[in-house]
Amino acid sequence: MAGELRILCDLILPDQTFRVWDGTGGVFVDGDGNRYRPAQFTAEALQQVEAAINGEAYTMNLALIDIPMSVGDSVWAYDEATSVNGSPFILKIQELDEYSQPVGEPEVKFTGTIDNMKVADQASGEESTSAIMVEVVNAFTLRVTANGQVLSDVDQKERSRRLNPAAWLAGLYDRFCERIPGLRDKTIRWPNW
């Protein structure tokens, strides 16, 4: 009988790792003994997680809501004392059995680095909670310049070499920017049946 899937996020900060899973309830312990705190993702964050799982995302904005205010305060204080920008971020999917126990190793679906992190406090009635917003970018994020500059052929080849060194060593160079100008002289013809 099939179990369920759990979304796990690892924020690898300079001197500790902050782990959360999407849901409510108790602490989740994975097969390696790592402890994940429960957190609820916003609907928009879940859509971005889905895009990342499908390989369609190069940036991700996660909003973790209903975090205890004490945890939110400690995250804010930590970010003030030690910058988290550039820290690795890993999104994984863990399959669970019918007893909610991990089955096999979690599958890594998205990796990137933290670009920004914000903490906001929320109050509802007598209970106060925090929301943690994490902006994550990965290797495919193009760093946009202020003047709107685009990649040249040389820039594209260098970027390709860094992203896929094995192909570069095998002589399979990225020729995208080299080939695009030649398309302007082409005519698209629809088939005549």
Give the pLDDT confidence of 143-182 residue by residue, as tens digits. 444 444 555 666 777 777 777 788 878 877 777 777 777 7
- The percentage of residues in the chain with a pLDDT greater than 70, rounded to a whole number, is 87
Please tell me the predicted confidence (pLDDT) of residue 153: 66
Burial 83-103 (b: 16+ CB within 10 A, else e): ebeebebbbbebeeeeeeebe
Residue 59 sits in the same domain as residue 28: yes
Does 27 reside within a domain?
yes
Whether residue 164 is found in the same domain as residue 91:
no
- Does 60 share its domain with 128? yes
pLDDT level of residue 57 (50, 70, 90 thresholds): low
The verdict on 15 and 100 lying in the same domain is yes
Looking at the structure, do residues 101 and 155 belong to the same domain, yes or no? no
Asked whether residue 52 falls in the same domain as residue 81, the answer is yes
- Domain assignment of residue 193, yes or no: no
Per residue in 77-93, pLDDT (tens digit) is: 888 888 888 889 999 99
Tell me if 188 is assigned to some domain: no
Q: Inform me whether the pLDDT recorded for 188 exceeds 80.
A: no
Q: How many domains does one find in the chain?
A: 2
Residues 132 and 146 in one domain: no
Q: Which one has a higher pLDDT value, 189 or 73?
A: 73
Residue 169 burial (C-beta neighbours within 10 Å; 0-12, 13-18, 19+) = exposed
Are 47 and 130 found together in one domain?
yes
Assess contact for 5 and 96: CB atoms under 8 A: yes
Please tell me the pTM assigned to this model.
Answer: 0.67
The token duo for 101 is: 């126990």
For residues 10 and 36, give the distance between their C-alpha atoms in angstroms, rounded to a whole number: 9
Say which residues have a Cβ less than 8 Å from residue 52's Cβ, sequence separation at least 6. Answer: 60, 91, 109, 110
Residue 32 domain-assigned (yes or no): yes
Instruction: Say whether both 127 and 85 belong to one domain.
Output: yes
Same domain, 112 and 55: yes
Tell me, yes or no, whether 84 and 167 share the same domain.
no
- Residue range(s) defining the domain that contains residue 114: 5-137
